[in-house]
Copies of this chain bind each other. A is one copy, B any other.
Amino acid sequence: MEAKEILEAYRAGKLTDTAVLAALQEKYREETLHLGFASLDLDRAERCGFPEVVFCAGKTEGQCVEILSALMKKYDNVIGTRADAGIYDRLKNKIPHVLYDSTAAMIYQHKDNRIRNGERTIAVITAGTGDIPVAEEAALTAEIMGNRVRRIYDVGVAGLHRLLARQGEIRAANVCVVVAGMEGALASVVGGLVDKPVIAVPTSIGYGANFHGLSALLSMLNSCAAGVSVVNIDNGFGAGRLAAMINEMR
C-alpha cells in the first residue's frame, strides 16, 4: 500500500488511528528485504540512484550468493565488490548474466549497458602498474553505471613527461579519478592541471613507511591543489560511484 492508499483507507474508516500510524511505519519495513543475516535496502536505487552494492569481504560465500541473487533478479545492473571467484562459480548457474572480473575482484551484472552521459568522460589515472586493480574497480563501477571511462595508467610523477604527454586527455575529462600508492603525489599534480573535480584514491601499494596506504592517504588529504577530495585506501568502488554521480550532474 502506498502512503496515499493508507490515508484513503483511513479516511474511509477502514483503519483506526493506531492502525494508520502502524501502517505508515510498516511501509519502511517493506522497503527492506529481510534475509535474516541481511536487510536489503530496496529503496536505495530510488533514493541514491543505484541499487545497494554488496561488499563481499567478511560475508560467507553463501550469504553473498543469496544477497546477489536477490538483487540481480530485481535490478539490471548490480555490483559485488571484493568478491572471490568462488562466489562467481556458485552464482553463474543461477544467474545467467553474471560476470566476474578477477583484476578488480568484482562480480556484476551489466544488462543495461547504455551510455547515459554521452561524451562526458571519466579519466581513471594511476601512478603505477601496481595500482591497476584498484583503478579497475573504479573504472568498471563507472562503466556499469553508464559512463565512458578513459584509462591512463602508470604516469607517476617520477617521470613527469609521461603525465604531460597525456595532459590533453586528462584535461578533456569531466571528472578525474587518481589512484596512487607510495607518496600519492600524483593527485596534487593532476589537481593543479585541471578545473574539474579530482577524486583521489590512496592505495596500499608500497612498503615500510607507507604503513599500508597511510602515506598516500595523508598526502592526498593535504593536497595543496583545490578540487581534490579523498576516499578510503584502496576504495576503487567509492571513487567510481562518486565519479559517476558527478558525471551525471547537469
Contacts and interface: CB of A to CB of B under 8 A. Distances in A.
A208 interface: yes
Contacts of A191: 158
Number of copies: 8
A174 B230 CA distance: 19
Contacts of A237: 226
B226 A229 contact: no
Contact of A231 (B38, B57, B229): B229
A162 B27 CA distance: 10
Interface string A200-227: 0010111111111111111111111111
A84 interface: no
14 contacts: A8-B17, A39-B162, A55-B128, A58-B128, A157-B188, A157-B192, A158-B223, A174-B249, A185-B185, A207-B235, A210-B222, A216-B222, A229-B239, A230-B231
